[in-house]
Amino acid sequence: MNMQTKLFYAVVVLALTQALGHAQSAINLDYQAGASQRDVVFNGGAPVGDGNYVRVGFFSAGFNVAANAANLSALNGAWNQFGFTTISTIFGQPGRFAAQQSSFDPKFESQKICLWIFRTINNGAPTANFDNVLGYGVFSSNLGNWLFPLQNAVPPGNGTSINSSEVNQLYFGSADSSHLSLAPVPEPSTYALLALGALLMARRRMFKKRSAVN
């Protein structure tokens, strides 16, 4: 085998190796509330206890997060989960979290990253109907790194890193320079008022349409 043939095969093997690695690349995300970053507290008070869930993902296109932020069922129906971790004590500091996760699902590409953080009665996972949830927060940011990267981007372009101190969009809950604060679950009366308001708006739109036709 002459030198040109060897060089040809070497180039082919290299190209195939790169193509295979490219095809198998994942979307990688590093998310945290580490030391010197905002911690997570409940209702402006004590840090959220270890074991409570921190979900990361995005809400479906067209879903109005701000308008539905107080409706757990609506949020859950539009939620696309990338992964989750739990609140823990890091270097002696409570109310923290840190995780690295990956996905091969292309539906996450270029979607806006959101954190959905819970405080439950038992400091564990929220139940399917959220009946053990005392409070929660929905947070995001308009910074460029809060978009899921493209799966087929050349590494490290297929990964991004976010942290709690970058949050500047508060859909449910609040924040100051040191804390992300989860808000209590709205009372049933609040849900009723929200539902009534939505019903009245729908009827008003229907009345306007009928008036326009007539």
Buried b (16+ CB within 10 A) or exposed e, 170-188: bbbbebeeebbbbbebbee
**Of 191 and 177, the one with more pLDDT:** 177
d(C-alpha 27, C-alpha 45), whole Å: 35
Over the stretch 58-102, which tens digit does the pLDDT of each residue have?
999 999 999 999 999 999 999 999 999 999 999 999 999 999 999
**What is the pTM (predicted TM-score) of this model?**
0.79
How far is residue 88's CA from residue 86's CA, in Å, rounded to a whole number? 6
Q: How many domains does the chain have?
A: 1
Containing structural domain, residue 38 = 28-205
Mean of per-residue pLDDT scores for the chain: 87
132, part of any domain: yes
Is 60 domain-assigned?
A: yes
Q: In this predicted structure, what is the pLDDT of residue 187?
A: 80
Cα dihedral 128, 132, 134, 138, rounded to 10, equals -20
Q: For residue 131, is it within any domain?
A: yes
| 20 within some domain | no
Tokens 């008070």 belong to which residue?
Answer: 45
